[in-house]
Each structure stands twice: as C-alpha cells, then as structure tokens.
Amino acid sequence: MRYEDNRGFAAAQDRADPLAEYREQFNFPLERNGRAPIYLCGNSLGLQPKLAVQYVEEELRNWKNYAVDGHFHSDRPWISYHRQCVAEFAALTGAKHSEVVAMNTLTVNLHLLMASFYRPTQERYKIVIESQAFPSDRYAAASQIRMHGFDADEGLLEWSPRDGDTRLYTEDLAAMLAEHGNSIALLLLPGVQYYTGQVIDMGKVCELGRTHGCKVGLDLAHGIGNVDLELHDWAPDFAAWCTYKYLNAGPGAIAGAFVPERNSSPENLDQLHGWWGHDEATRFKMAKSFTPAAGAELWQMSNPPILSLAPVVASLKVFEEAGLAAIRKKSKKLTGFLDWLVTARFGDQIGTITPADARGCQLSLVVKDKNINAKGLFDKLCELNVTPDWREPDVIRVAPAPLYNSFDDVFEFVERLTLALSELSH
C-alpha cells in the first residue's frame, strides 16, 4: 500500500473505509483545551460502545421490574446470560462453542486454569514465562509454583529477547525446551506481547509444548479482537483473556476462557468447583453431589455479575456485525499508515520496537534522539488531548483501533506529535 503525508489522503481513506460508520457507535472522551480527543489507547481500555450503555440500563431496569424473577423471566434471563458471549468468543478465538466461557476476570481465570493444568511433580515443576511478562502473569505463575511447595526463583524460567534486541524468537524457546524440557510443566505465554506489540507465533509455541510434554496456557489480553486466533487448531491446554482492551467492554468487565474439548471430559474433575459449574438442568435440585457441566462451563464457579457481563454482550454484538476479517484488514492499513507517517517525518528521532512483520494494532514508539526527553514528549501529547500510553523506561504505545479510529485520527496524531516536538525544543 502507498501512503501520502497529507490530510486529503487520510480523508480519502476514511471515505473508502467500509467500517467508517462504526465510529458513530462509540462515545469519545471530552474535548480538552479546545481540542478534540485523539484516542489511541484501545490496547489498554477500549472506548464505550453506545450499545453497552443501553444493555447495562436494560439490566438495571430488569432488576428493578422483575427482581428475582429476572433469572428466568426477563428478555435475556440471567440464568443463561453468559451464553450470549459464546458464539462471538468462539468466532474471535477460532474455538468451538463448547470450548469458551465468559467468567471472572483475567488473572483469576489464569489461576483457576492453572489449578487444573499446572500439576507439578518433583521432576516436572517449572513454568516458562517471557522475561517482559505482564506483572500479573508473572506474579500468578510464581505464586502457583510456591503454592505447590517449590521455589519460585528456581521454578520460573524466562524466554528472553537476545542482547540488544526486544524481539522474542521461537528458535530460542525451542532451544530452552531442548535443554530443560523435562523439568518444565507449563508454558504460560502471551499471544501478543503487551510492551512491544509483537505477535507471538502461537501455533508454534503450542507445538513446541506438545513436543516436550509441557502444558501450554495462552494469555490473549492483547490478542483478542486484535489479531487472528485459531485456538482449536493450535490446541493450547487453556487460554484466557480480558474484555476491556480491544473488546471495549469497559473497566474490569467479565473476562473469557478457553479449554479445549480434550481437556474437559466429565470424567476429569480436576477443577475447583462451584455451583455454576454444575450441570444447569439439575443445578437447582441443590444436590450434595456434583454433576459436571459440559465443556468450558465446567470451570464456572459463581453466578456471574450481570451488570459487568452486559457490556461484554453488547460489545461482542458490534464485533459480530463488523467481522474480524474486515477489522483486521483495516487495522493493517491504519497501523501501516501510522508507522509510515512517523518514519517519514521523524525517522531520525523516533523509532519503533514493534516488528512490522508480526504486529496487530499497536506500535510501541521509542525516542531515539537522546536530546529529546521521552516522558516530556508524552506529557506534551497529553496536553494536546492525545491519549497514547506511557511504559517505563521510554516507550510510548499508540494503538489505532479499527472499529472507532479513523485515518484522520492517525494523521492528526502525527500533526500533534510534530507540534509537541517543536514545543519541546523551544
């Protein structure tokens, strides 16, 4: 694709964009200092879909009007409310319907799934994470190791980028497994690295895990709604994701989990149980014995918080209508335009650590020119009502989200970046 550095080019792209109308379906943050917002932080918290407001209001009304009867007698009965997420979770992750479930929050799901799939022995007890793992994943893995009576410092192995590089190479993971594979119980790895934006070769990671007899768990916080996923075919032992980043379901919204068919047979009762994991048909007989639900629902524990699930259902409707293929197609152009513009204007001063051949929406920018204070630049951008995000020590992450960001947003971002740089040097 050929790009041009002018607003007319961006406007022409927006006119030709089949997803352009979706922008209207979202609420944007307020103007500041007379400037419209340039929101590029959908990798951290996606914007509010107008439909989410409607769905939450409907459930508040159902609660008011029906009280306990809302469980069975409202438009979308609460008893099966979570099932409204199934079809689109399955579509977005490349899974079967029986393999996905909406429940809890991300780190909680990682723990519950590790309770089932991290079952260390004296010989095989280590967990591989990546060296720049999101802190919550690291804490979760280390605490699991400790809970099983092992030493976390020794039990945690790190897959690291090479010296002077930020990219993760699957060859290096393969080498690590060739050397230590027999002592490794679990690979707990991201689909998309949150800091660099690198898309990991998830199929290859799963294959490596299988070859060496290790379980594989994928954290798809930055993957879902962003890049193509084929969980059923890749066949990790579990996966989990949050829904407030690219999925736009709101702060702390209910998360998702994947357990492949082969891991959820009713004879296998290695889960921590609660009544929502009991077969729904007989749940309310309140029996003393546990009858497992089929598929990933077996991992459910509690009746879900409907008010935190409503925006997930709403947001997934928007994804279902737009379709991930179209979203991904636009995303490649949009992030490509951003990368091209930044390089064309500031190639000497600003670079990116995000690999062009393995990325989703996000670009992680780094200031190369040591005369420019990176944090100062970030603060200037915020003053100009741009919302990127800052990651220590020197990364500015920007992620145009194809459902609501336009090519003009990208162009305007680069205009404000130009202004911020010129103000900094005065």
Among positions 187, 242, 322, 396, the unique one binding ligand PLP when judged by CB under 6 A:
242
According to CB under 6 A, which residues from 193 to 212 bind ligand PLP? Answer: 194
Q: How far is the CB of 60 from ligand PLP (least distance, A)?
A: 24
Among positions 157, 221, 363, 381, the unique one binding ligand PLP when judged by CB under 6 A:
221
Positive/negative CA dihedral, 232, 237, 242, 245? negative
Residue 202 · residue 218 · CB < 8 Å: yes
Q: How far is the CB of 77 from ligand PLP (least distance, A)?
A: 27
Q: How far is the CB of 349 from ligand PLP (least distance, A)?
A: 28
Q: Which of 102-110, 116-124, 337-345, 401-409 is the region at the interface with ligand PLP (rule: CB under 6 A)?
A: 102-110
In a 13 Å sphere around the CA of 184, the CA atoms on its Cβ side amount to 28
> Which two tokens mark 347?
């190639």
| Residue 31 DSSP code | P
Under the binding rule (CB under 6 A), the answer on residue 397 touching ligand PLP is: no
Among positions 19, 100, 106, 200, the unique one binding ligand PLP when judged by CB under 6 A:
106
Scan for tokens 């915020």, then name that residue.
Answer: 382
Q: Which of 29-37, 104-112, 145-153, 346-354 is the region at the interface with ligand PLP (rule: CB under 6 A)?
A: 104-112
Question: Which is nearest to 266 in space by CA: 285, 293, 284, 231?
Answer: 293
Scan for tokens 């100062």, then name that residue.
Answer: 376
Q: Which of 69-77, 131-139, 327-335, 389-397 is the region at the interface with ligand PLP (rule: CB under 6 A)?
A: 131-139
Torsion angle defined by CA atoms of residues 202, 252, 50 and 363, in that order, rounded to the nearest 10 degrees: -40
| Residue 18 DSSP code | T
What is each CA distance from 5 to 2, 158, 320, 337, 341, in whole angstroms?
10, 41, 33, 9, 7
Q: Which is nearer to ligand PLP, 222 or 278 (CB)?
A: 222
Among positions 76, 111, 138, 222, the unique one binding ligand PLP when judged by CB under 6 A:
222
Report the distance separating Cα 110 and Cα 135, nearest Å.
13
Among positions 37, 77, 97, 136, the unique one binding ligand PLP when judged by CB under 6 A:
136
| Residue 361 DSSP code | S
Q: Which of 2-10, 214-222, 309-317, 324-332 is the region at the interface with ligand PLP (rule: CB under 6 A)?
A: 214-222
Q: Which residues bind ligand PLP (CB under 6 A)?
A: 105-107, 134, 136-137, 190, 194, 219, 221-222, 242
